[in-house]
Structure 1
C-alpha cells in the first residue's frame, strides 16, 4: 500500500541523462564567446543553477564579468542545437502507475523551462506540472522549487512530510530536506553514502528500482 501522498522529481540525472546535452551547449557557446575550449564540468556544480555554472566556467579564464553573456548564449545553443537527452529507466512505469493511482506528481528543476519542455515533448513522457529555474526567486538548494511544485499539485504544508522527492544531486537533496519532504536519492552522480549523508532517506540506482520497491510495499 502506498502511503506517500505525492512524488516530486528533479529532472537532470533522475528523469533523463542530459549531461551531454548541457555540456555540448556550454562548449559551443564558450567557443563562440571566447574562441577557446571550455574546462571540464566540475562535479561540485552538479545540480546548481545555469548562472552559477556560467560563472564557474568564466572564472577559469578570468572572465567573470562575462558570466551572464555566457549563460544567455548557452541557453540559446541548448534550444537551437537541441540534443535530445537519454530517458532513464523507470520513468514510463512510474508515471503510468502514479496516474492510475491518482497520486499527484511533477517536476521541479534548476534547468530552464524551455529545455524541460523540449525534452518532455521529444521523449513523449507524461509530466504536465513542470517548473524550471526561471520560476523561482531562490532556486535549489533553497526549498522554494519543491514548495512551489507541491502547492501547485494541491498539497498543504501538513502534507509535505508524506511527499517523496527523487534527487540525484546534493544541491537538490538539501532543497528537499529544507522543504520538509522526504529526499530519495538516485545514484546517477553520487554514491549511496554521499546521498544519505546529505539527507536521503532511501537510495536507489534509478527510478525503476524505486518503482519496484513501491509496487512491492
Structure 2
C-alpha cells in the first residue's frame, strides 16, 4: 500500500500541474468499479463465443471487459462473422449473463459511504455505464445507491461504448457540467481513454482487475485499490481538489 500511495502521489502531482478547475461532479463507471462483475461478464462472453464456435480464452475476454459489445466483438470476430452472427451472439451473451451470472454480482465495500462522502463534498454524482438499462437498475439496487445518484447513462444513451467518449459526454450533458469540472472514476483503461478524449480527469480503481501499469498507461491521474481506499483518502484525492 505504501508503494501504491507513493506512485499515486507522483501521478497526482504531475497530472494536476497547472490545472485549477473546480470539481462539480463525480462520474462513476459501475462494472468493476462499484460492483464486482468483471469476471462474471468475461465468463458470459467466453460461453457466448464458444456457443457460436469461437475459441476465446477467459483472460482474452476479460481483457476487453469495460467495452460494450460494439467495441468488443470486432476484437474477436471478422467483419463477415459480425454480419453473420454478431447480433445473435451478443443477445445470447446478454441472456446468459442475466440468467446465470447477474444473481452473483455483489457490491464492493464502502460504496454507499463513498457516494455520500462525494455528495457531502458538494459534488453531483452520475453513473456512466455501458450496461443495459435493466442491468444498471439492478446494479444500483445491489450497491444500495439508487437514491445517491443524480444522473445515469446506459448503453441506450450512446451510439458507441467506451473507449469512445459518448457515454461520458451524455452523462455530462445530463449534469449540465463541462468535462473540465468533473472527474471520472473507473476500473479499466477504456474508462480513462474515453474520459480523456473529452478532457475529463480519471481516477483508476484496481478492484476491477486491471493492473496499475495499464491504468497509469491510460493516463489515470491516481490509482486506488477500490472504493474503500478512495473513501479513506478522500481529502487528498482529486475529488477534493
Task: Tell me whether the two structures share a fold, i.e. TM-score over 0.5.
Answer: yes
2:191 paired with 1:197:
no
The 5 A counterparts of 1:126-141 are 126=146, 127-141=149-163
Correspondent of 1:50 among 66, 69, 72: 69
Provide the residue aligned with 2:89 in structure 1: 70
2:10 paired with 1:10:
no
Provide the residue aligned with 1:174 in structure 2: 193
- Checking the alignment, whether the CA contact within 8 Å between 2:38 and 2:65 is kept in structure 1 is no
Q: Deviations over 1:20-77 (max 9, x none)?
A: 432343355456555x876324144131112343455556xx9542111010121122
Q: CA deviation at 1:168?
A: 1.5
The alignment of Structure 1 onto Structure 2 pairs a total of residues equal to 209
Correspondent of 1:25 among 25, 28, 44: 44
CA distance in 2, matches of 1:24, 1:190: 16
CA distance in 2, matches of 1:196, 1:96: 27
2:90 paired with 1:92:
no
Ranges of 4+ aligned residues in structure 1 off by more than 6 Å: none
Q: Deviations over 1:123-161 (max 9, x none)?
A: 322335221122101222122211210121121x3xx22
- Checking the alignment, whether the CA contact within 8 Å between 2:71 and 2:162 is kept in structure 1 is no
Q: CA deviation at 1:172?
A: 1.3
- Checking the alignment, whether the CA contact within 8 Å between 1:6 and 1:104 is kept in structure 2 is yes
Q: CA deviation at 1:213?
A: 2.0
Alignment gaps of 5+ in structure 2: 1-21
Correspondent of 2:57 among 39, 45, 48: 39
Q: CA deviation at 1:111?
A: 2.2
Provide the residue aligned with 2:174 in structure 1: 152
CA distance in 2, matches of 1:134, 1:195: 26
TM-score normalised to structure 2 length: 0.75
Aligned with 1:142: secondary structure?
coil
Aligned with 1:45: secondary structure?
coil
Alignment gaps of 5+ in structure 1: none
CA distance in 2, matches of 1:197, 1:56: 20
CA distance in 2, matches of 1:19, 1:55: 19
Provide the residue aligned with 2:232 in structure 1: 212
Q: Which moved more, 1:93-102 or 1:22-31?
A: 22-31
